Amino acid sequence: MTVTEPAAPSAAASPAPVRTGWLTALLRRLHFFAGLLVGPFIVVAALSGALYALTPSLERGLYAHELTASSTRDGMPLADQIDAAEAYVGGGTPVAVRPAPAPGDTTRVMFADDALPESTTRAVFVDPATAEIRGDLPVYGTSGALPLRHWISDLHRSLHLGDVGRWYSELAASWLGIVALAGLGLWVGRFLATRRRSSRRARGYRRLLRWHSGLGVGLVLGALFLSATGITWSTFAGAHVADLRAAVGAGTPTLVTTLDGTAGAGEHAHHGGGHEPVTAADAATFDTVLAAARTVNVNSGDVEIRPPAAEGTAWVVQEIHRSFPTEVDAVAIDASTMRVTDRVDFADYPLLAKLSRWGVDLHMGTMFGLANQLVLFALAIGIAALVVLGYTMWWKRRPTRGLATAPARGVLRHAPWWGIGAVLAAAVAIGLVLPLVGFTLAAFVAIDVLLGWRAGRVSPSGRRGAASPGRRVDSRCRGAASRCRGAASR
């Protein structure tokens, strides 16, 4: 929330309206109010995101018994492992199976359970070498998140408040990019105006401003990345992004799972296994279908095998390897003939679909493992620190009593006609693409207009304008000329 004040005009002369510098003044006001009012949401999203970034590694330690086999010996056929899991749960057909991805890992046999929340399955962890049951945990989503990661993910996404809670994260993600760009614009404008860096000997507010600006410039690309990728998960803006991608032919390719080819199931049709019923499936068929898929396009150790969700549909074998290089190829197979009915290869994805996949995996910290997670953690902590520094600057500039004065209103009155038109067009476009930004921006403007109207009624017209709108007079410096000069120069 970088806030700098223009120099005050001489009280002896009434300056003519200035048509230059209006954009900087607008950015200053936008950065101030957005940072002040949306800052708490950004802090919560950043801190919970920092915690989530470390959960893949935390999971490996906390659930080591469930995730680790007793030996690295060659595994039994999947049929034997599935039989052991079915016996453990008392029967039923798995909705999905994830074979052990590497020696020393366990196999996940996942069952639908109506007692679990949506998109959550009951996973039985089986030692591939001995068919020993190593654990029984709920897992969530296509990421296969275990309870710790799912709890933190839900905190980050919705504060455990359900669909309504998701508005907070969408608000934070949508405004984060706007605040970051406004702050960058202010920094560029100040740098071009002064052609020098802030003094390292600066104290008080000036030192905070230097820290805030330097940290903001260093983190701006990361903040924009988190904002853009976070929006793809949001309720309202995320739907608009999906529609836009589909309109330009950049949607994620769909795997057709019906045997007659008349309809398809998208990549998230069986999100986390879900609760969709499955037809009875022989455990031995899992081995046969996986072997057939490996002759086509499945060559990763990280795979998920899903039996038909209904009569007349195919088995699906999907790669789930999200680390680089990305392997998310999928194949649909008719188990009665072992004929491949459809296939989707990541290499054939449109560029925007690939970028979306990579962006999501980077955001979740799975693309480059621990290094990715540590960078995300540092970035999230840095964003939270930016907001805290902004609030500290706001507090430093407050008068003796009350709150700090906001940057002067009415900046668009000094803008040229084309500037006003560009600002209005941008506001409408952003509001359509990012609905929560549009609603909150309209609320900001309405509140600002009411406050301006109230200030006009409270202040006598003869006294208004005694001080320039661009100048603040600190009440603490009255009666002390040196302190007044210092306050005016800040």
24-60 pLDDT, tens digit each: 888 888 898 888 889 999 999 999 999 999 999 999 9
pLDDT tens for each residue of 320-354 = 999 999 999 999 999 989 999 999 999 999 999 99
Classify 165 as helix, strand or coil. coil
The pLDDT of residue 259 is above 70:
yes
Could you count the other beta carbons within 10 Å of the beta carbon of residue 19?
11
Q: How far apart are CA 170 and CA 175, in angstroms?
A: 8
Q: Tell me what the mean pLDDT of segment 356-385 comes to.
A: 95
CA distance 210 to 276: 55
| pLDDT band (50, 70, 90) for residue 263 | very low
User: What was the pLDDT predicted at 10?
Assistant: 43
Give the CA-trace dihedral at 253, 257, 259, 260, to 10 degrees: -50
Q: Decide if pLDDT at 196 tops 70.
A: no
Backbone phi and psi for residue 257, each to the nearest 5 degrees, phi listed first: -110, -10
Strand order in the sheet with 133-140: 133-140, 120-126, 107-111, 96-98, 303-306, 315-319, 330-334, 339-344
> pLDDT > 90: what percent of the chain?
52
Most confident of 100-104, 206-210, 239-243, 460-464: 100-104
User: How far separated are the first and last CA of the chain, in Å rounded?
Assistant: 15
CA–CA dist 428, 411 (Å, integer): 19
Question: Of 7-16, 151-160, 200-209, which has the strongest mean pLDDT?
Answer: 151-160
Q: State pTM to two decimals.
A: 0.81
Query: How many whole angstroms separate alpha carbon 57 and alpha carbon 218?
Result: 26
Going by pLDDT thresholds of 50, 70 and 90, the confidence category of residue 266 is very low
Among 86-100, 266-280, 408-422, 443-457, which stretch is predicted with the lowest mean pLDDT? 266-280
Six-digit token string for 348: 């054939």
How many angstroms separate the CA atoms of 388 and 382, rounded? 10
**3-state DSSP percent of the chain in helix, strand and coil, to 5:** 50, 10, 40
pLDDT of 398 above 60: yes
Q: Taking a C-beta distance cutoff of 8 angstroms, is the pair 107, 75 a contact?
A: yes
Q: Nearest-CA neighbor of 8 among 468, 398, 487, 397?
A: 468
Residue 144 to residues 226, 316, 322, Cα–Cα distance (Å):
22, 17, 12
- Averaged pLDDT for residues 276-280: 56
Parse the chain into domains and list their residue ranges: 19-63+146-251+363-417, 72-145+253-348
**What's the average model confidence in pLDDT over 416-445?**
88
Model confidence at 203, in pLDDT bands (50, 70, 90)? Answer: confident
**In the prediction, which pLDDT does 415 show?**
82
Q: pLDDT band at residue 174, thresholds of 50, 70 and 90?
A: very high
Work out the average pLDDT over 453-478. Answer: 51
Q: Which residue carries 């990579």 as its tokens?
A: 358
The answer, yes or no, to whether residue 472 has pLDDT greater than 50, is no
pLDDT computed for residue 204 by the predictor: 77
Confidence of residue 149 (pLDDT cuts 50, 70, 90): very high
pLDDT the model gives residue 404: 53
Give the C-alpha separation, 291 to 77, whole Å: 11
Confidence band, pLDDT 50/70/90 cuts, at residue 406: low
**CA–CA–CA angle 476, 482, 486 (5° rounding):** 70
Residue 237, Ramachandran bin (φ over 0: left; ψ between -120 and 50: alpha; else beta): alpha
